[in-house]
Amino acid sequence: MTLRILFTGEGTSDDGLVPHIETVAAVGGTPVTVTAPDFGRLGSTHCHSVPEKLRVARRLGDDYDLIIIHRDADKFPAEDRRAEIAKAVAAEWPAHPHIAVVPVRMLEAWLLLDEMSIRQVAENPNGRMKLALPKGTAVEGIKDPKKLLKDTLAIASGYTGRRLDGFQKRFPHHRHKLLERLDPYGPVSDLPSWRAFMDDLEAALLAAR
């Protein structure tokens, strides 16, 4: 039996998590198909909140065995986000199995632990610029990991002037590439928020069989 999974993120670049969901499922011997709707292309340009996305996804008429919802913690405790997601699912898709993916504070924190990937995505793999990246769980204490990631990519690129301006405009693309390249069993696995995601996913896949 192939499990059907619905994934929703805060934006389309979050779809880089989909390959990791598929990897974990494959390691556990569970065949899956993951659907990550582009709500903008579906005509739902004002579909931003979790309840709105669930409402539209359900209206499309597809059936799923599991819903996976990504929502950054931002300035709130992770448990508040989990409760928010649970409330949305209970209202829009009652009693449906789901898991919450809640990075602390933003998903970009997960991408700051792999210096080699950052240098490669920055189009300068042999660069020698000092990046001063955070180590281990310290990354979850950074107030604005998105800004730090963007600034770090700029430094690693070595670009200046117009080339740097053009490079920085492609940040959503670079972020997506870094997310796809993330090793789910690498340094990020030391972070409590990532371990919670992996543990919840493995448990949900097992329960949905």
Nearest to 180 by CA among 89, 110, 125, 124: 110
Predicted TM-score (pTM) of the model is: 0.92
Digit-coded pLDDT (tens) for 66-109: 999 999 999 999 999 999 999 999 999 999 999 999 999 999 99
Percent of the chain with pLDDT over 90: 84
Average pLDDT over residues 158-169: 97
Q: 2-21 in b/e burial notation, b at 16+ Cβ within 10 A?
A: ebebbbbbbeebbbbbbebb
- Tally Cβ neighbours within 10 Å of residue 70: 23
